[in-house]
């Protein structure tokens, strides 16, 4: 097993491994950088709503799920109830359960390990992970994406809160408040390629706007989720 042929083969494998690892690290770096404007926008949103820095960073470390954080903080900023804010955020994070089931085989290990890495279960880490077929690369991609996003997401939450958030009138003068709908739209955009998703998105938007003056703050967002009934998700599809 130690002939020159095996050695060359071994070197080729190492070279391929190195290339895969670098490719994954590059993907993780670009995805981590891509989320920074949203994190900064989240920091601004929290500062504008007069949340404390601890509460704001609490969202980014403990909840750690972009769309859920935005939804929940938006509801609170509009003086919605805790129940409405939690429900809106939880409904958006439900998908991380589906991610967890997909990623589980690649994340095997001691209990403490699974407890820690579960917190990184977000769109970005799952996307980088599942793009690979081998379990060890799935694991590596998940960790690289998860850790990269976690660090930059929290860093830019703090930067947005402290630097841009204290700007007062500057926030409306510079149009920084307009980054919130733009961030939501960017999160929604990839889903709009499917007609079913476009349909329920349109219904959800209409429900939220029409019921806004009628229902307590935050409830219109949760009510928009009912749009999924038009696709009858309980029926078993072929």
Query: According to CB under 8 A, which residues from 112 to 171 bind other proteins?
Result: 114-115, 117-119, 121
Using rule CB under 8 A, residue 25 touches other proteins: no
């958030």: which residue's tokens? 165
* Least distance between other proteins and beta carbon 199 (Å): 9
Least Å from the CB of residue 111 to other proteins: 8
In this chain, which stretch among 7-15, 18-26, 150-158, 230-238 interacts with other proteins, using CB under 8 A?
230-238
Judged by CB under 8 A, which stretch of 2-10, 12-20, 28-36, 151-159 contacts other proteins? 28-36
Q: Using N-to-C axis directions, what is the helix angle for 82-93 and 95-103, rounded to 10°?
A: 40
Q: Are 68 and 92 in contact, with CB atoms under 8 Å apart?
A: yes
The answer to whether residue 95 forms part of the interface with other proteins (CB under 8 A) is: yes
Of the pair 15, 173, the CB lying nearest other proteins is at 173
Q: What single-letter DSSP state applies at residue 174?
A: T
Minimum gap (Å) between residue 23 Cβ and other proteins: 20
CB of 38 to other proteins, least distance (A): 7
DSSP 8-state assignment for residue 237: P
Smaller CB separation from other proteins, 24 or 200:
200
**Total residues binding other proteins (CB under 8 A):** 103
156: nearest Cα among 146, 145, 148, 167: 148
Q: What is the dihedral of CA 8, 9, 14, 20, to 10 degrees?
A: 130
Q: Which residues contact 227 (CB under 8 A, 6 or more apart)?
A: 200, 201, 203, 204, 207
**Distance between CA 8 and CA 87 in Å, rounded?**
57
Write the binding mask 42 to 81 for other proteins: x where contact by CB under 8 A, - elsewhere.
Answer: ---------xx-xx--xx--xxxx-xx-xxx-x-x-x--x
């Amino acid at each position: 097993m130690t002939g020159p042929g095996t050695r060359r083969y071994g070197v080729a494998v190492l070279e391929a491994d190195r290339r895969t690892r670098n490719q994954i690290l590059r993907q993780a770096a670009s995805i981590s950088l891509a989320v920074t404007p949203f994190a900064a926008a989240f920091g601004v949103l929290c500062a504008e709503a007069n949340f404390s820095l601890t509460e704001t960073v609490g969202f980014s470390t403990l909840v750690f799920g972009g769309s859920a954080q935005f939804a929940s903080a938006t509801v609170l900023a509009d003086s919605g109830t805790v129940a409405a804010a939690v429900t809106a955020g939880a409904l958006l994070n439900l998908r991380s359960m589906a991610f967890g089931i997909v990623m589980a085989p690649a994340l095997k290990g001691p209990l403490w390990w699974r407890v820690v890495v579960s917190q990184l279960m977000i769109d970005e880490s799952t996307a980088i992970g599942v793009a690979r077929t081998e379990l060890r690369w799935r694991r590596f991609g998940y960790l690289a994406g998860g850790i990269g996003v976690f660090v930059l997401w929290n860093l830019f939450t703090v930067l947005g809160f402290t630097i841009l958030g204290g700007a007062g009138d500057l926030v409306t003068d510079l149009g920084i408040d307009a980054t919130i709908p733009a961030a939501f739209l960017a999160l929604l955009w990839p889903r709009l390629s499917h007609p079913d998703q476009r349909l329920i998105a349109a219904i959800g938007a209409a429900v939220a706007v029409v019921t806004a003056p009628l229902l307590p703050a935050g409830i219109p967002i949760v009510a928009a989720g009912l749009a999924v009934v038009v696709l009858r998700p309980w029926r078993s599809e072929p």
